[in-house]
A and B are shown apart, each in its own frame.
Chain A
Amino acid sequence: DTAVSQTPKYLVTQMGNDKSIKCEQNLGHDTMYWYKQDSKKFLKIMFSYNNKELIINETVPNRFSPKSPDKAHLNLHINSLELGDSAVYFCASSQAARGLEAFFGQGTRLTVV
């Protein structure tokens, strides 16, 4: 069974388009995250949600809007895509009360052309 699953795995789109990436976890965790990994492999936190509430929003352009309909889902919507948005986006989850181990999804490789 997949613990943290993201869709799609690959996404190629033109500049200016709006796109969404979906994430679901079946681990019963209460905290979910979005990380961005650039071409140099640097992993940077974008958002953190705890029990559907936003708790951390790093310096991310407001074109990026996370949505958490329930504890098991955290989707990422991106408006007006730019070339610099090209990266691999990882969803992750953890259960704060049971330790801090974060489980990552397989990633979504976004290419903006």
Chain B
Amino acid sequence: GENVEQHPSTLSVQEGDSAVIKCTYSDSASNYFPWYKQELGKGPQLIIDIRSNVGEKKDQRIAVTLNKTAKHFSLHITETQPEDSAVYFCAAHSGNTPLVFGKGTRLSVIA
């Protein structure tokens, strides 16, 4: 089955700096890669996703890149703000299986 590795497990950045979180996946048939943000006491919320026919996608301060050959994808947050502090999860999906999640990255943005 699919296996998703996520790094780093914790990340601290100064407000205004960029943050990058990286994930690798094992199943070359995976074709959908979402990123979720989980704030304290809440459920994960989708913030951006990318499909295997696209190499990059951007939504304001958030961007995701996908390298199918290397089987890795990354989340980039620019101009970080304190409200970006949360746990971020990458995930991968193939076929009819549910999403397989990485182990999460706790991002702290220091004002």
Where the two chains meet, the residues of A that have a C-beta atom closer than 8 Å to any C-beta of B are 4, 33, 40-45, 48, 55-56, 90, 92, 96, 99-107
Contacts and interface: CB of A to CB of B under 8 A. Distances in A.
A106 B43 contact: yes
Contacts of B96: 55, 96
Most chain B beta carbons < 10 A, residue from A41, A43, A48, A90: A43
Nearest to A46: B98
18 contacts: A41-B103, A41-B106, A42-B101, A42-B103, A42-B104, A43-B89, A43-B101, A45-B100, A48-B98, A90-B43, A92-B43, A99-B32, A100-B32, A100-B34, A101-B34, A104-B44, A106-B43, A107-B43
A48 B41 CA distance: 23
Interface residues of B, number: 23
Given A104-B43, A104-B45, A107-B42, A40 B103 contact: yes
A104 B106 CA distance: 19
B97 A102 contact: no
Contacts, number: 52
A45 B99 CA distance: 8
Given A41-B103, A56-B97, A105 B46 contact: no
B18 to A, nearest CB: 23
B103 A33 contact: no
A96 B32 CA distance: 12
B66 to A, nearest CB: 15
Interface in B90-108: 93, 96-101, 103-104, 106
A71 B49 CA distance: 25
Interface in B33-51: 34, 36, 38, 41-46, 49
B49 to A, nearest CB: 7
A73 B23 CA distance: 33
B104 A33 contact: no
Given A41-B104, A90-B43, A90-B44, 7 more contacts: A41-B106, A42-B103, A43-B101, A55-B96, A56-B98, A100-B34, A106-B41
B98 A41 contact: no
